[in-house]
């Protein structure tokens, strides 16, 4: 008898994994380009590209939460609802930060 979890009842998370992987790889590529531009003396372009890389990096978990909510909406409604709740809290915190930074 094995103590491994029953894989038959586990929801498929391939899209969530793909969203996290894609966001990470894309942000690393963009940040690397910003680094190369900086080394080449293109400071203005490097700043713009690096800012885009940081935005992609910060947006990756939010995109993964959206993907998780969509993936789990049929199999595990409570988990999907929690993913949406975390997104709402994240959005509220972002709005609050933007409003108080001025």
pLDDT digits (tens, 9 = 90+) for 43-101: 999 999 999 999 999 999 999 999 999 988 887 888 889 999 999 999 999 899 989 98
What is the rounded end-to-end Cα distance, in angstroms, of the chain?
61
- The pTM of the full predicted model, rounded to 2 decimals, is 0.74
Contact call for residues 19 and 71 (beta carbons, < 8 A):
no
DSSP 55: H
The CA distance from 45 to 37, in Å, is 7
Q: Which of 1, 55, 6 has the alpha carbon at shortest distance from 26?
A: 55
Residue 34, class by beta-carbon neighbours within 10 Å (0-12 exposed, 13-18 middle, 19+ buried)? buried
């Amino acid at each position: 008898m094995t103590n491994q979890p029953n894989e038959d009842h586990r929801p498929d998370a391939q899209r969530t994994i793909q969203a996290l992987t894609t966001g990470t790889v894309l942000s690393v590529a963009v940040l690397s380009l910003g680094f190369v531009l900086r080394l080449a003396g293109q400071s203005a372009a490097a700043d713009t590209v690096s800012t885009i890389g940081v935005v992609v990096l910060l947006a990756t978990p939010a995109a993964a939460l959206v993907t998780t909510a969509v993936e789990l909406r049929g199999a595990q409604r409570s988990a999907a609802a929690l993913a949406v709740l975390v997104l709402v809290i994240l959005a509220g915190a972002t709005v609050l930060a933007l409003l108080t930074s001025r």
